[in-house]
Amino acid sequence: MRKFVALALALIQLVFVAACGGGGGYGGGGGTPPPPPVQMIATPGPPNVESLKVDVGPPGLTFPAVNTAFVSVTVCVPGSKTMCQTIDHIEVDTGSVGLRILSEALTSVTLPPETDGTNPLAECVQFADGTSYGSLHVADITLPVSGEAAANVNVHIIGDPAYVASIPSNCPPGLQREDTVASFGANGILGVGPFTDDCNSTGACPLPPAPPLSQNFIYYSCPTPGTCATTTATVAQQLPNPVTLFPSPDNNGVIVELPSVASAGATTVSGSLVFGIGTRTNNGLGTATVLPEDPFTGFITGTYKGTAYIDGYLDSGSNGNFFTDSSLTACTSNPNFYCPASTMSETATLRGTNAATLTANFSVANADMLFSNTSYTAFSNLGGTNGDAMGFDLGLPFFYGHNVFTAIEGNNVSGTMGPFFAY
């Protein structure tokens, strides 16, 4: 899961690839429904809470970022405490896996290459809105506010000049190339989704199929940057979910905690990225309802206006709520977004693989009107179309006012095995 690009006044970044207390709809017999639980946002700091901010994004963007949550990440040459660089505006994405950094943002440190034992490795990753390509390297990483750290992490350096000069023919551009900060919309992406590795958690990432079929992740062995050939990648060679490499106990999942945003929007939003679920007093599930995901796809089911969309998910890397609704007018200048004449209140039912359900209430405003306030970067009511006919994507707008849990596969979290979403 992960990423997308959409037009707004011209072009605005949004994202997809692949939960605060509260349950489903009130089922009382005519009584007054209970008030919603009060949202508690953990204070950033050691040992497990990172600062999270929604803002205009890094310098170099053609247009400001919208509904994009950022952290900073420090990368160091393995074993060094001095050959390091802290990179800001790394997007947090619960719909993908792995740390990926744009080459132009990595300016003051040279990381050693990751190899297959002989040759350096490279990777092509296809997001929903485009394709990124670059070399793989190894780094020690630290989240500077929480102090969470991991050593010898495989990192994707997107847009490495030596490599993008000769992009393999089976790494198609999709809607666009996303090998620069301007086209990617961030200095990098921290994929903290529900899986342990980006391609195949249980074995080697396979060779890509013959066209017209494709796969989202393709690995290459590169005797030189211009002579890369497709290769399988073992679990150890793939990009890992960095959270799984953090010290126990805070390595079984994450919570994205962002406060509510008014209907008109907000200039910036500050919140927290909490590591671990049910491991400390600041990350318990509380009254949240767990929605187990399909262990192979990471999907749940979202039922909206009578249609069950089996490719459902909650994704902090999407800058809108994306779903199919022919009754909502698409924007003229931004056809990927909806522009109803008045703000619409919508409801969906989310269902996990165990038949547990949750009501998801959200609203859809006129995207053109929202985008006309160019000083705002956060909108809780931004919605748009979904290219997957069975897709139902609740993106960052839904996260505002909720604490959204993403548990990683293979972990028993408070009696339920990951992967799951909860809120």
Phi, psi of 309 (to 5 degrees): -100, 110
pLDDT digits (tens, 9 = 90+) for 267-289: 999 999 999 999 999 999 999 99
Cβ–Cβ under 8 Å, residues 208 and 219: no
Same domain assignment for residues 174 and 312: no
241 and 374: one domain? no
Please state, in angstroms and as integers, the Cα–Cα distance from residue 252 to each residue in 1, 201, 260, 274, following that order: 19, 15, 26, 11
Using the 3D structure, point to which of 245, 265, 293 is the last residue of a domain.
245
Same domain, 143 and 218: yes
Q: Rounded distance, CA 293 to CA 300, Å?
A: 5
Contacts of 26 (CB under 8 A, 6+ apart): 33, 34
Which strand (E) or helix (H) includes residue 163?
A: helix 161-164
Which residue, of 229, 245, 261, is where some domain finishes?
A: 245
3-class SS of residue 74 = strand
Residue 275, domain member (yes or no)? no
Q: Which of 136, 83, 144, 135 is nearest to 110 (CA)?
A: 83
Q: pLDDT value at position 28?
A: 33
Q: What is the pLDDT, as a whole number, of residue 184?
A: 95
Secondary structure of residue 161 in the 3-state scheme: helix
pLDDT the model gives residue 336? 92
Is residue 262 one of the residues assigned to a domain? Answer: no
CA distance 352 to 310: 10
Could you read off the pLDDT of 192-209 as tens digits, one per residue?
999 999 998 889 999 998
Rounded (10°) CA dihedral 420, 295, 126, 403? 0
The rounded distance, in Å, linking the Cα atoms of 145 and 137 is 24
Q: Give domain status of residue 241, yes or no.
A: yes
Predicted confidence at residue 39, as pLDDT, reads 94
My answer on whether 300 and 225 are in the same domain is no
**One domain for residues 329 and 234:** no
Long-range contacts of 307-312 (CB under 8 A, 24+ apart): 309/390, 309/391, 309/392, 310/390, 311/388, 311/390, 311/391, 311/392, 312/350, 312/391, 312/392, 312/393, 312/394
Counting as low any pLDDT under 70, the low residues of the chain are 1-37, 212-213
> Both 144 and 210 in a single domain?
yes
Q: What is the pLDDT of residue 349?
A: 98
Q: Where are the beta strands (DSSP E) in 171-305?
A: 188-192, 217-221, 229-231, 253-257, 269-275, 290-292, 300-304
241 lies in the same domain as 371: no
User: Alpha helix (H) ranges present in 224-305?
Assistant: none
**Distance, CA of 152 to CA of 78 (rounded, Å):** 6
Inside any domain, residue 158:
yes
Nearest C-alpha neighbor of 113 from the set 190, 202, 220: 220
234 and 293 fall within a common domain:
no
Distance CA 141, CA 155 (A): 10
> In whole numbers, what is the pLDDT of the chain averaged over residues?
91
Q: Is the peptide bond before 33 cis (omega within 30 degrees of 0)?
A: no
Q: Which of 142, 36, 45 is nearest to 87 (CA)?
A: 142
What gap in Å lies between CA 245 and CA 15, rounded to an integer?
A: 25
Judge if 195 and 291 occupy the same domain: no
Which pLDDT does position 212 carry in this prediction? 66
Q: Is residue 266 part of a domain?
A: no
At residue 298, the pLDDT reads 96
- The reply to whether 236 and 165 lie within a common domain is yes
Q: What residues have CB less than 8 Å from 382, skipping those under 6 apart?
A: 66, 67, 319, 320, 321, 337, 364, 365, 367, 370, 397
Q: What is the CATH number of the domain that holds 172?
A: 2.40.70
In a domain, 240, yes or no: yes
Neighbours of 82 (CB within 10 A): 7
Tell me, yes or no, whether 24 lies in a domain: no
Number of domains in the chain: 2
Identify whether residues 234 and 317 lie together within a single domain. Answer: no
Indicate the residue among 193, 221, 245 that finishes a domain.
Answer: 245
Strand order in the sheet with 307-314: 357-364, 344-351, 300-304, 307-314, 391-394, 321-322, 383-384
> Is 56 in the same domain as 204?
yes
Cα(395)–Cα(15) distance, integer angstroms: 8
Residue 76 belongs to a domain: yes
Beta bridge partners of 394: 314
Please compute, for residue 260, the number of CA atoms within 13 A of its CA located in the half-sphere on the CB side: 8
328 Rama class: left (phi>0) / alpha (psi -120 to 50) / beta? beta
ω before 194 within 30° of 0 (cis)? Answer: no
Beta carbons within 10 angstroms of residue 31's beta carbon:
7
The residue segments making up the domain with residue 186 are 49-245
